[in-house]
Amino acid sequence: MLETVLDIFDNFWVALGAKLLLVALLIPLIGMVIGFAEIKLSAKMQARMGPYFAGGRWGWAQLIADGIKFFQKEDIIPDNADRPVFKTAPMLVLVGTVALFVVIPFGPGLIFRDLSVGIFYALAISSLSTIGVLMAGWSSANKYSLIGGLRAAGQLIAYELPLVLAAVGSVIMAGTMSMSGIVEAQITAGYPYVIFQFVGFGIFMVAALAELTRIPFDMPIAESELVMGYLTEYSGFRFLFFFLAEFANMFTMSAIAATLFLGGYWLPGIPTETLEFVGPVILLAKVFLLAFAMIWFRWTFPRFREDQLQTLAWKWLIPLALANIGATAFFKVVL
């Protein structure tokens, strides 16, 4: 009996260690892939010679040069900063990103943990970034950082509501909050939910852009200007942590959107018995298509004003999301 318990304990910790190692390797890899795509697309759209041609035809050297630059920079902490909080903030933001990978289904049974409340868990964990941003702004002992942190927190809180409400429509249609269950429900129905949840899908993607504080929602950072908001006092690898979290969050938000609205690892016309092998490829294709849209938005649209940002969230997206929930619930009951 004791040997059996010890075997289970050992297997649990081995499996947990393997999963943590896999996620630890995935985060930098995803950050490099999406970062490379951002560099190439922005260079193409703006005719920027350096990022497009550095290192030969593919411009691969630009990303490596940027990585070396971050690790060579001195790790500076302001004298009056709250040092423990200042050091913890970027790690908290990155931990929230890592935790999102737990519930993303990459294929049938290919998921770290299939929680019965998977979508609730994912949207709750995504809120950790708000705490990390506030910690970074407050602990920097810089008024610009504090103002940037407060603006970021106000933006993130405002857009968490439409983000959550947009997901409710798919949950109602599937009848489950399990991420795998939502994909299976779309397979059973024979169509991706975006056909009937196009309003929810649009709201989710707009709110996801705001949660990532990317253009046209980058008021808290305003990276095209001298002051970088709550990131002003960060340098070196701590600054890199925030950017890795941003790129990895682009992946996770796109994966959640693909799972809720686009059928996840399933594609109409693909035999279900082959999904174990082609499912991850299908999901990755959808994720990178949505990530491309986020990059395209960044280099196409101008920045909102703060009042426009709050008006969009509170006067348009939230009422639209509530109307979408009401309509979905009505047709679910009637039909």
Which structural domain, as residue segments, surrounds residue 237?
Answer: 76-334
Q: Burial of 148 by CB count in 10 Å (0-12 exposed, 13-18 middle, 19+ buried)?
A: buried
Domain boundary among 48, 72, 96: 72
State which of 23, 57, 72 marks the end of a domain. Answer: 72
* Helix, strand, coil percentages in the chain from 3-state DSSP, rounded to 5: 75, 0, 25
Answer for the pair 237, 75: CB distance below 8 angstroms, yes or no. Answer: yes
- For the stretch 21-59, pLDDT in tens is 776 777 778 878 888 888 888 878 877 776 666 666 666
More confident residue, 161 or 45: 161
Ranges 21-25, 67-71, 145-149, 201-205: which has the least confidence: 21-25
Mean pLDDT within 80-106: 87
One domain, residues 242 and 256: yes
Residues 66 and 122 in one domain: no
Name the pLDDT band for 204 (thresholds 50, 70, 90).
very high
Amino acid at 315: K
pLDDT surpassing 80 at residue 262: yes
Look at 7 and 91; give whichever has higher pLDDT. 91
Q: Are residues 167 and 46 both part of a single domain?
A: no
To the nearest whole number, what is the mean pLDDT of the chain?
84
Q: What is the pLDDT of residue 171?
A: 95
Mark whether 53 and 138 lie in a shared domain: no
Locus of tokens 């004298």: 79
Residues 62 and 12 in one domain: yes
pTM for this one?
A: 0.88
- Asked whether residue 52 falls in the same domain as residue 81, the answer is no
| Other C-beta atoms lying within 10 Å of the C-beta of residue 8 | 10
Q: What is the pLDDT of residue 50?
A: 65
For residue 202, the model assigns a pLDDT of 95
Same domain, yes or no, for 54 and 141? no
Phi and psi (nearest 5°) for 211? -65, -30
Longest pairwise C-alpha distance within the chain = 68
Return the CA Rg of the chain.
21
Residues in the chain: 335
The predicted pLDDT at position 223 comes to 67
Element containing residue 188 per DSSP (H, E): helix 179-189
pLDDT of residue 69: 79
Q: What is the pLDDT of residue 61?
A: 75
Q: What is the DSSP letter of 195?
A: G
Mapping DSSP to helix (H, G, I), strand (E, B) and coil, where does residue 110 land?
A: strand
Separation CA 115–CA 181 (nearest Å): 10
Specify burial of residue 7 (Cβ count, 10 A radius: 0-12, 13-18, 19+).
Answer: exposed
Mean pLDDT, residues 307-324 taken together:
92
Same domain, 61 and 86: no
Look at residue 5 and tell me whether its pLDDT is greater than 90. Answer: no
Q: With contact defined as beta carbons under 8 Å apart, do 90 and 151 qualify?
A: no
What's the pLDDT tens digit per position in 105-152?
Answer: 998 888 888 888 889 899 888 878 888 888 888 898 888 888 888 888
> Residue 274 above 60 pLDDT?
yes
Task: Report the alpha-carbon distance of residue 145 to residue 142 in Å, rounded.
Answer: 5
Q: Which two tokens stand for residue 252?
A: 């996770």
The reply to whether 39 and 88 lie within a common domain is no
Q: Round to whole Å and give the CA distance between 269 and 108.
A: 16
Q: Within this chain, do residues 93 and 63 fall inside the same structural domain, yes or no?
A: no
Q: Which pLDDT band holds residue 226 (cuts at 50, 70, 90)?
A: low
Q: Look at residues 25, 48, 72 and tell me which one is the last residue of a structural domain.
A: 72
First vs last Cα of the chain: how many Å apart?
A: 53
pLDDT for res 286 = 95
CA-nearest of 262, 255, 280, 242 to 102 is 255
Say how far apart CA 73 and CA 94 lie, in whole Å: 20
Domain count, the chain: 2
Is 70 exceeded by the pLDDT of residue 211?
yes
> Is 80 exceeded by the pLDDT of residue 10?
no
* Tokens found for residue 111: 């998921």
The band of 73, judged by pLDDT with boundaries at 50, 70 and 90, is: confident
Choose the weakest-confidence range: 54-58, 171-175, 304-308.
54-58
Rounded to an integer, the average pLDDT of 231-249 is 85
Q: Is the pLDDT confidence value at 233 over 50?
A: yes
3-class SS of residue 320:
helix
Residue 62 has pLDDT above 80, yes or no: no
Query: Do 145 and 239 belong to one domain?
Result: yes
Q: Which residue has the higher pLDDT, 274 or 63?
A: 274
Alpha carbon 303 to chain centroid distance?
A: 20
Residue 283's pLDDT is: 94
Residue with tokens 């039909």: 335
* SS3 state at 107: strand
Q: What is the mean pLDDT of residues 87-112?
A: 86
Q: Are residues 235 and 148 in the same domain?
A: yes
Q: Which residue has the higher pLDDT, 271 or 204?
A: 204
